[in-house]
Amino acid sequence: MIRRPRRNRQTEAIRNMVQETTVGVHDFIFPLFLIEGENKKIEISSMPGIFRYTIDQVLEEVQACVDLGIKVFAPFPSISEDIKDKYATESQNPEGLFPSAIRAIKQNFPEVALVTDVAMDPYSSDGHDGIVENGEIINDETLEVLGKMALTQAQAGADIVAPSDMMDGRIGHIRKVLDENGFQKVAIMAYTAKYASAFYGPFRDALGSAPKSGDKKTYQMNYANSREALIEAELDTLEGADYLMVKPALAYLDVIKLLRDNSNLPIAAYNISGEYAMVKAAAQNGWLDNDKAMAEILTGIKRAGADVILTYFAKEYAQYLKKQ
Q: Which residues are annotated as a binding site for Mg(2+)?
A: 232
Q: Is the Cβ of residue 57 or residue 124 nearer to ligand PBG in the bound state?
A: 124
Question: How does 95-111 read in b/e, with b if 16+ C-beta sit within 10 Å?
Answer: ebbbbbbbbbbbeebee
DSSP code per residue over 112-124: -EEEEEE-STTTB
Residues 163-222 that bind ligand PBG (CB under 6 A): 164-165, 200, 203-204, 209, 216
Q: Exactly one of 84, 194, 280, 315 is catalytic; which is it? A: 194
Residue among 84, 216, 247, 302 flagged as catalytic? 247
Check binding of 232 to ligand PBG (CB under 6 A). no
Q: 138 vs 123, 161, 192, 275, 289, CA distance in Å? A: 16, 22, 19, 30, 45
**What are the binding residues?**
232
- Is-catalytic flag, 194? yes
Site string for ligand PBG, 91-130 (x = CB under 6 A): --------------------------x-x-x-------x-
Q: Give the x/- contact pattern for ligand PBG in 239-278, rule: CB under 6 A.
A: ---------------------------------xx-----
Instruction: Report the C-alpha gap between 182 and 188 in whole angstroms.
Output: 15
Q: Nearest to residue 47, comparing CAs of 295, 271, 245?
A: 271
CB 206 within 8 A of CB 52: yes
Q: At its nearest, how many Å lie between ligand PBG and the CB of residue 12?
A: 34
Gap between the Cα atoms of 271 and 297, Å rounded: 9
| Integer Cα distance of 121 and 103 in angstroms | 22
- Catalytic residue at 322? no
Binding site for ligand PBG (CB under 6 A): 117, 119, 121, 129, 164-165, 200, 203-204, 209, 216, 272-273
Give the active site residues: 194, 247
